[in-house]
Amino acid sequence: MARDPILEVEDIEKAFGGIRAVDKCSLTVLPQSITGLIGPNGAGKSTLFNIIAGLYRPDGGEIRLDGGRIDGLPPYEIVTRGLTKTWQIPHELRNLTVLENVVLAAKGNSGEHLLNLFFRPRQVKRDEQRWRARAREVLKLTQLDKLADEHAVTLSGGQKKLLELSRALMSDPAIVLLDEPVAGVNPALAGSLMDLIETLRREGKTFFLIEHDMNVIMNRCDRVIVMHQGRKLAEGPPQTVKTDPVVIDSYLGG
């Protein structure tokens, strides 16, 4: 494990009013890993994810992606640098089709610049066709291809989770932050979703995920980080963490 971490979080702090949601939290995620983040409700896991993705500005600390600082950057800039986050509560674009939702996640689609529409029409057309084709491939992977032309609002809760993952994959990120990817997804679908994540990891992607499903944490993650009261409480391979008395006490229960 001599590899440099892809993501480094150092002394990150965030308070909402009097509540210290994240309190000098430091952790690292290794490249090509599936790293789990667990902890009791209110431990600061989702807040930390939102800070890493640039949606909240931290009060202090540093975040480095592949060695470069990303804290304080706007979310769209962080996506461009290769880090994408999915939402715990799906944020599907309701009245856009599933395919439109996914195409939108493409990076560098020239037609999204107003002037290109007039001055580079051929490139715009070429890009759009390419990204649509790519989006269809992604939807096949996540088994949403049959619903491509439906409005996203019509999807079920589990399908919306798949749409979240589809959009994340479309941006071709180096690392994906998944906020409870299988919550509300039926067991069979959750299994194939995690299989897909393992396949993608073998292809070089890194996954950092919050999950309360202990099956996912124990069987699918290489490393688990435990958060409690805004800080990292413990970390290690799932089996070690599982037997750590401190973790049992604060999260897993006797």
Partner 1 sequence: MAATPGRSRPAQTSSAQGIAIAIIFVIAITPAIVGQIVLPSGVIKPLSTQGLPGTLINIGFYISISIIFAILALGFNLQWGYTGLFNAGVAGFYLIGAYVAAFAITAPSPPIVIANVVVYPGHLGGYSLPFVAGAILAMIASGGTAAVLALPALRLRADYLAIATLAFAVILQIFARNLTSLTGGAIGVVLIPKPIELQPPSAFFNTMTIIGIGAAVLLFLLLLLQFISESPWGRVLRAVREDEEATMALGKNTFRYKLQAFALGGAVMGLAGALYASTVGYVQESYFAPAVTFSVWVMVIVGGSGNNRGVIIGAFLIYGLEWFSVQMKDYFTDFGDQIFYVRLMVVGALLILLILFRPEGILRETKRVLR
- Compute the least distance from the CB of residue 110 to partner 1, in Å: 8
For the segment 169-208, give every residue that binds partner 1 (CB under 8 A).
Answer: 171
> Rule CB under 8 A: is residue 80 a binding residue for partner 1?
yes
The answer to whether the CB of 14 falls within 8 A of the CB of 71 is no
> Rule CB under 8 A: is residue 69 a binding residue for partner 1?
no
The CA-based angle 205-65-81, given to 5 degrees, is 75
> Rule CB under 8 A: is residue 100 a binding residue for partner 1?
yes
The answer to whether the CB of 251 falls within 8 A of the CB of 228 is yes
The answer to whether the CB of 109 falls within 8 A of the CB of 128 is yes
Express the helix, strand and coil content of the chain in percent, nearest 5 each: 40, 25, 35
Candidate ranges 23-31, 64-72, 76-84, 225-233; the one touching partner 1 (CB under 8 A): 76-84
Output 74 or 237, the one with its CB closest to partner 1: 74
- Ramachandran area for residue 106 (φ above 0: left; ψ -120 to 50: alpha; else beta): beta
- Compute the least distance from the CB of residue 204 to partner 1, in Å: 20
For the segment 127-156, give every residue that binds partner 1 (CB under 8 A).
Answer: 127-128, 132, 148-149, 151, 153-154
> Rule CB under 8 A: is residue 74 a binding residue for partner 1?
yes
Candidate ranges 24-32, 110-118, 194-202, 230-238; the one touching partner 1 (CB under 8 A): 110-118
- Compute the least distance from the CB of residue 99 to partner 1, in Å: 5
Q: Which of 55, 196, 200, 218 binds partner 1 (CB under 8 A)?
A: 55
In sequence order, which residues have a C-beta less than 8 Å from that of residue 157 and are 6 or more positions away? 90, 184, 185
> Rule CB under 8 A: is residue 15 a binding residue for partner 1?
no
Candidate ranges 24-32, 72-80, 194-202, 212-220; the one touching partner 1 (CB under 8 A): 72-80
The CA distance from 164 to 178, in Å, is 9
- Site size toward partner 1 (CB under 8 A) is 40
Counting Cβ atoms within 10 Å, is residue 141 exposed (0-12), middle (13-18) or buried (19+)? middle
CA 189, 195, 199, 200 torsion-angle sign: positive
Output 109 or 143, the one with its CB closest to partner 1: 109
Of 182, 183, 208, 243, which Cα lies nearest the Cα of 32? 208
Residues interacting with partner 1, by CB under 8 A?
Answer: 53, 55, 74-76, 79-80, 84-85, 87, 91-97, 99-100, 103-105, 107, 109, 111-114, 117, 124, 127-128, 132, 148-149, 151, 153-154, 167, 171
